[in-house]
Structure 1
Amino acid sequence: MNNQPGSERNLKYIMNRLFSLGLKREEVPAGSPGSFQHEAWIRKILKEKASKRADLKTRLEDILFIILDTETTGFRPEHGDQIFSIAAAKIKNFKVVDQFSQLINPCVKIPEEISILTGIFEEDVKNAPTLDEKSEAFLRFLSGGMIIGYHISHDLAFINHFLWKRYRSSLKQPALELALITERLVGSETFETLDSAASYFNIECRNRHTAEGDVLIMAELWRSLLRLCKEKGIETLEDLYVTMK
């Protein structure tokens, strides 16, 4: 039974909800409200954050891209599959400016075939924090940029499933699919896997099928694609969206 006073539980829930929507701790003023009677204040803050996102005319080198990858126990979060590793890297103007990596205790069994593929076994995560315990840290890291990844819908499905169950919310920023961008920019091949895209650009695949390793491979791929964008005269976010159609 939770013996935490009701008002304190309510305030903690509200703060976690705000953080899950991308609000940073320093943006929450002292004496924040302890109930949702101040929804107008919440909407105002979140609207201000949304207004800072890149618009279509923003040059690609000025956009903060956040490469994201997860390792999961299966493919169906709605059936109980869970994240057991998460990693991300921030890239701006061709440079990796920050990184995040964390093993997660999924609180469910990691299938043997998944452990063999990733090299991560149950003993590696049994003392790791749960996703709930690390949610504020990784949501802070993901906020304020445009998410990008290979088969990113898989990663977003797991994160948003968690956020909906825990906070009745979801990630708000836009996301780009690296596989699609690669195929549109190259124009002559399909790239069903990250390995195939990396091979095309002569990128070495180290620590493949680990979240941290795959993020670094994707970072190299994204830099290669940004250079290709320059060669093709694709300068803004709008140019990139047109290319992806």
Structure 2
Amino acid sequence: MHTLRLKKPIAFFDLETTGVNIVRDRIVEISVVKALTNGETEIRTRKINPEMPIPLESSLIHGIYDDDVKDAPTFKGIARNLASFLDGCDLAGFNSNRFDIPMLVEEFLRVGVEFDVKNRRMVDTQRIFHMMEPRNLAAAYKFYCGKTLTNAHSAEADTLATFEVLQGQIARYEGVTLTDAHGKVTEPIKNDIAALHELTASRIIDFAGRMVYNDKGEEVFNFGKHNGKRVMDILKNEPSFFDWMMKGEFPLDTKRKLTEIKLRALTQR
């Protein structure tokens, strides 16, 4: 039985991949721990054939080699069942907002399976950890749970550790106040998934981070020559930049979000 107060299921998950490039790399293993509102959990772990060679440097990290996945299903083969398993779930992980969720969304987009994250809360335990105790997952597990993480970089071990870490973070920090650089006092950590989403994921527009919200809540570019400039303004004044991004090596999720902003701009004219 877990101690999280949940209004809907939340799926903790971890990916092992061929590399860290969202556009070019692929998933080789996924593990999901689905925490249910009744306190029960469901665990699913499986290897995936990435349909490309696994670089040796990646295999040396997670221990998965080409022979281990040659008979495994492709992501396309499991996509619909996985989407069904995650249906109605919020999402959580360790560094999940910057890597695991963007990678998973990209894989779903590639195979044409709908996986909308708009109505899901997203909780990144690394974001909480780095705010409160800047280290890595093994250190977080030792610090919050008093245990040594064995089988690190095994998707299931990392996922179960992340699940326990969030519970440990809530137990340690719920009710603890923080004072920011402007003197504002807050209690950021609450046993509430919506509040934790707001803390760790509220500034996300596209998962690659090419666009973010500024302090005024406006969508701005987060890279290149237009860094810090409003997306709406650039789309209006330099339409060729939209075409360049759509033809460039950007994740499908980034292109989709940019297109949504462009369509919204057109309807506001």
TM-score, length basis structure 1? 0.65
Instruction: For 1:182, give the aligned amino acid.
Output: F
Would you say 1:180 and 2:127 are equivalent positions?
yes
Which structure has more helix as a fraction of its residues? 1
The residue type paired with residue 160 of structure 1 is: V
Higher RCO, Cα 8 Å, sep 6+: 1
**Partners of 2:38 and 2:170 in 1: how far apart?**
8
The separation in 1 between residues aligned to 2:68 and 2:81, in whole angstroms, is 20
Structure 2: which 5+ residue stretches go unaligned? 177-188, 203-269
What does residue 99 of structure 1 align with? 43
Name the SS for the 1:98 alignment partner: strand
Asked whether 1:67 is paired with 2:23, we answer: no
Query: 1:38-80 CA distances to partner (integer Å, 9 max, x unpaired)?
Result: xxxxxxxxxxxxxxxxxxxxx83444221011001011131x2
TM norm structure 2: 0.60
Report SS of the residue matched to 2:165: helix
Structure 1 residues 190-201: aligned runs within 5 Å: 190-191=134-135, 193-201=136-144
User: Secondary structure, in 3 states, of the residue corresponding to 1:136?
Assistant: helix
Equivalent position amino acid for 1:164 in 2: L
* Preserved contact between residue 82 and residue 106 of structure 1 (Cα < 8 Å): yes
- Indicate the RMSD between aligned Cα atoms, in angstroms: 2.6
Matching residue of 2:110: 165
Whether contact under 8 Å (1:203, 1:220) holds in the other structure is no
Contact 1:204 1:217 in 2 (8 A): no
The number of equivalent residue pairs is 182
CA, structure 1 residues 223+93, in 2 after alignment: closer, same or farther (shift >3 Å)? Answer: farther
Measure, in 1, the Cα distance between the counterparts of 2:51 and 2:127: 34
Q: Identical aligned pairs, as a percentage?
A: 23
Q: CA deviation at 1:119?
A: 1.4
Structure 1 runs not aligned, ≥5 long? 1-58
Q: Is the 8 A contact 1:65 1:91 kept in 2?
A: yes
For 1:94 and 1:179, the matched residues in 2 are separated by: 26
- Identify the residue that residue 170 of structure 2 maps to in structure 1: 226
Return 168-177 or 215-224, whichever deviates more. Answer: 168-177
- Mapped pair 1:236 → 2:180: no
